């Protein structure tokens, strides 16, 4: 009898372990509204504590924008209206400015980052179901059914994309009217991103290459090729912006031009960055297209530069509250006024504040002010807080667009030197004031009011003067002003 009990206990233990241990399913498939996602048949899926975990590349297949920070091991996932931020092995995540708990935190395994699919799917309005028998994930959403409506292809004010082709390391986008493209690169993995503001998909083309909820994909089978696949989707609705992403097999340089015989068409040629010369292009070259990012972080000075300094929060909006009761809005305003005073001594820089006193300006109006002034830079000053983690500390700088990252990098360098606090790095986020600003725009989180030591430091005159000077020094270096 005793032996029988031991056998039963052993069997029960094995049964429990099968649910509590990660189970690797290398044949799992993912379906969206009944259609298998085109690139997931080879994707790994992990089952951790009965939760489906998928590589972050799978999330991209759903049509969301994914940014992976290898240094911080953090991932930001966004669509038009929401951002989810997570860190590897952390049991909490940020949904916009809201903190939520995770039953299965993201994990890093074999160089691949896995995230909880149900959590992400439901946050973005998907219904998620797991079929253990077939090892399949089924996602359902109304988004796919309304794809053509959301693209609003009937508008005559948009340049309609009639076709996208790729051959011989050349991307060709045929359109019925010209748009001004914006191009930048991303790493980890290597990508080239082409944004087409004022563009939409033509009705017939919108029915081709569907890969997910409002997302499209073209797999590249030719070899050799710099590109493994091309993804495109509606990135923003106002203004309507189509984003085209080239997933690269290896790093590539590029050159933009008009399609031969079609001034509305766009051609992107890729070539080996080690090659001494670029391939020949048509004489129809688009002269004012954005050029590839360079390593320089300064901007040539051509007359006075206008900088908008934003003191976050104000009036009824206190921002965060420190451990001793001090409020963020007061710190932000004090810092903005100090920066304004220092910039007033710079003959080549003009400065405008979004507020000079304890008043409230809406976030859209802060960005609108900078846009209306045609400012050269927008800098929003804030203090940080994680009230349930009183040991959280340090300085971090946020940007939204790739065009803003050089400003963020330069400013963060000077900010860290000035605060002498923990370096929490430069990070991506889609804060509204950054997203709606048309110029390079960054948000500074100087230190933590939820940390008693840092709160006391942030309200000292010496610290504030150092930080204000650091911000001014960052502005001057960015604009190349000695």
Do the beta carbons of residue 278 and residue 253 sit within 8 Å? yes
Residues 6+ apart with CB under 8 A from 204: 162
280 close to 267: Cβ distance less than 8 angstroms: no
Whether 148 contacts 213, CB under 8 Å: no
CA-CA distance, 280 to 6, in Å (whole number)? 77
* Helix, strand, coil % over all residues of the chain, rounded to 5: 25, 35, 40
* 3-state secondary structure (DSSP) of residue 180: coil
Report the greatest alpha carbon distance in the chain. 93
Provide the token pair at 229. 């696949």
Q: How many CB atoms lie within 10 A of CB 188?
A: 11
- For 29, the enclosing helix (H) or strand (E) is strand 29-32
Please tell me the distance from the alpha carbon of residue 143 to that of residue 214, in angstroms, as a whole number: 7
Active site residue 445: yes
Angle between helices 461-479 and 405-419 (to 10 degrees): 150
Neighbour count for residue 391 (Cβ, 10 Å): 10
Task: Render 41-69 in DSSP notation, one character per residue.
Answer: TT--EEEETTEEEEEHHHHHHTT-EEEEE
- Beta carbons of 363 and 433 less than 8 angstroms apart: yes
DSSP assignment string, 116-164? EHHHHHHHTT-EEEEETTTTEEEEE-STTTTHHHHHTTT-TTSEEEEEE
Structure tokens given for 227: 């590109």
Bridge partners of 93, per DSSP, are 100
**Upper half-sphere CA count for residue 336 (Cβ side, 13 Å):** 30
Q: Between vectors from CA 381 to CA 380 and to CA 386, what angle results, nearest 5°?
A: 115
Catalytic residue among 60, 328, 445, 454: 445
* Residues noted as catalytic: 445
């Amino acid at each position: 009898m005793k032996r029988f009990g031991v056998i039963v206990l052993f069997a029960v233990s094995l049964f429990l372990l099968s649910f509590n241990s990660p189970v690797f399913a290398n044949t799992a498939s993912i379906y969206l509204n009944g259609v298998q996602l085109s690139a997931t048949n080879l994707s790994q899926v992990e089952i951790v504590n009965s939760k489906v975990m998928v590589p972050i590349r799978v999330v991209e297949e759903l049509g969301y924008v994914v940014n992976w920070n290898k240094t911080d091991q953090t991932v930001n996932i966004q669509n038009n209206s929401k951002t989810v931020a997570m860190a590897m092995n952390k049991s909490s995540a940020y949904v916009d400015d809201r903190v939520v708990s995770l039953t299965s935190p993201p994990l890093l395994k074999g160089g691949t980052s896995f995230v909880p699919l149900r959590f992400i799917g439901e946050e973005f309005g998907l219904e998620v179901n797991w079929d253990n028998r077939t090892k399949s994930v089924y996602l359902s959403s109304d988004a796919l059914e309304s794809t053509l409506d959301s693209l609003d292809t009937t508008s005559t004010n948009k340049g309609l994309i009639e076709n996208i082709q790729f051959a011989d390391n050349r991307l060709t986008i045929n359109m019925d009217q010209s748009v001004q493209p914006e191009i930048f690169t991303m790493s980890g993995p290597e990508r080239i991103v082409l944004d087409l503001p004022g563009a939409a998909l033509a009705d017939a083309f919108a029915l081709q290459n569907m890969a997910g909820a409002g997302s499209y994909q073209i797999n590249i089978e030719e070899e050799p090729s710099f590109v493994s696949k091309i993804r495109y989707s509606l990135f923003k609705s106002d203004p309507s912006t189509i984003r085209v992403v080239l997933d690269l097999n290896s790093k590539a340089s590029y050159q933009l031009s008009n399609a031969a015989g079609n001034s509305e068409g766009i051609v992107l040629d890729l070539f080996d960055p080690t090659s001494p010369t670029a391939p020949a292009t048509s004489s129809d070259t688009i002269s004012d297209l954005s050029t590839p990012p360079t390593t320089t972080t300064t901007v040539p000075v051509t007359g006075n530069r206008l900088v908008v300094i934003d003191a976050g929060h104000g009036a009824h909006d206190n921002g965060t509250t420190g451990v001793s009761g001090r409020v963020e809005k007061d710190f932000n305003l004090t810092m903005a006024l100090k920066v304004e005073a220092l910039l007033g001594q710079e003959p080549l820089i003009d400065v405008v504040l979004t507020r000079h006193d304890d008043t409230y300006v809406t976030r859209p109006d802060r960005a609108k002010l900078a846009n209306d002034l045609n400012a050269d830079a927008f800098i929003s000053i804030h203090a940080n807080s994680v009230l349930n983690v009183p040991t959280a500390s340090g300085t971090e700088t946020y940007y939204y667009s790739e065009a803003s990252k050089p400003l963020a990098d330069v400013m963060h360098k000077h900010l860290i030197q000035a605060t002498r606090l923990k370096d929490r790095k430069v990070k991506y986020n889609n804060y509204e004031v950054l997203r709606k600003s048309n110029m390079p725009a960054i948000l500074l989180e100087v230190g933590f009011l939820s940390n008693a030591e840092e709160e006391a430091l942030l309200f000292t005159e010496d610290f504030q003067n150092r930080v204000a000077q650091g911000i001014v020094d960052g502005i001057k270096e960015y604009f190349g002003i000695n």
